[in-house]
Homo-oligomer: A and B are copies of this chain.
Amino acid sequence: MDYYSGYITKLIEELSTLPGVGAKTAGRLAFHILDMPKEQVEDIANAMINAKENVKYCKTCCTLTDQDECPICSSKERDHKTIMVVESTKDMAAYEKVGEYKGVYHVLHGAINPMAGIGQNDIRLKELFERLKDDVNEVIIATNSSVEGEATAMYISKVVKPLGIKVTRIASGVPVGGDLECIDNVTLLRALQGRVTV
């Protein structure tokens, strides 16, 4: 028997498809949604549909944007000869929040992960290499410090270096404010290898 109304069961089912949302959380969310004012429910539903309908990839850097070309790629104040390669739009936003970087980005939408069947053609690498035909001074690889991120960095480096373009990797090390005893061995080793003269 259906303990709830079919509409509630359906809502719980749909919410369960979201990442990190199990049956219990979906139930809690569903009953919260039923308790909200109708306008607010419509706002959330419309925000989902509008985002999905209007957000596409920037034709240059492949970030998620609602324009043909994202504000950074179309800005004349950015250095278009320096490209920072990141895994996701969120990573790009993280660097934008810092505000110091004046170059442009390239968003891969993932990293090479043979175990999950994600090869070099499944992320936006072709689009990156296409951009390098223009005048580019430096490619800064800012993929994550994970196995997949490192593999992707290595692959990009191998392809780009022979083109005579400078390739750099953001530094690995101890995070500022990080407590040495809480940091994993690989990071500690990287921090030692990457030590600088002070």
Question: Which residues of A pack against B, CB within 8 Å?
Answer: 1-8, 10-11, 13-15, 17-20, 25, 27-34, 36, 38, 40-55, 64-67, 71, 88-90, 92-93, 96-97
CB distance from A5 to the nearest CB of B (A): 4
Q: How far is the CB of A20 from chain B (nearest CB, A)?
A: 7
Inter-subunit contact B52/A36 (CB<8 Å): yes
Contact at A88–B31, with CB atoms within 8 Å?
yes
Closest CB in chain B relative to A71 CB, distance in Å: 8
Copies of this chain assembled into the complex? 2
Contact between B5 and A64, CB atoms less than 8 A apart: yes
16 contacts between A and B (CB under 8 A): A3-B97, A4-B65, A4-B89, A5-B64, A11-B47, A14-B43, A18-B44, A30-B51, A31-B64, A31-B88, A33-B48, A34-B51, A36-B52, A38-B53, A41-B52, A45-B48
Apart from A14-B48, A20-B29, A44-B45: 11 A-B pairs, beta carbons within 8 A: A1-B71, A5-B51, A5-B54, A7-B54, A10-B47, A13-B47, A17-B44, A19-B32, A31-B64, A34-B64, A45-B48
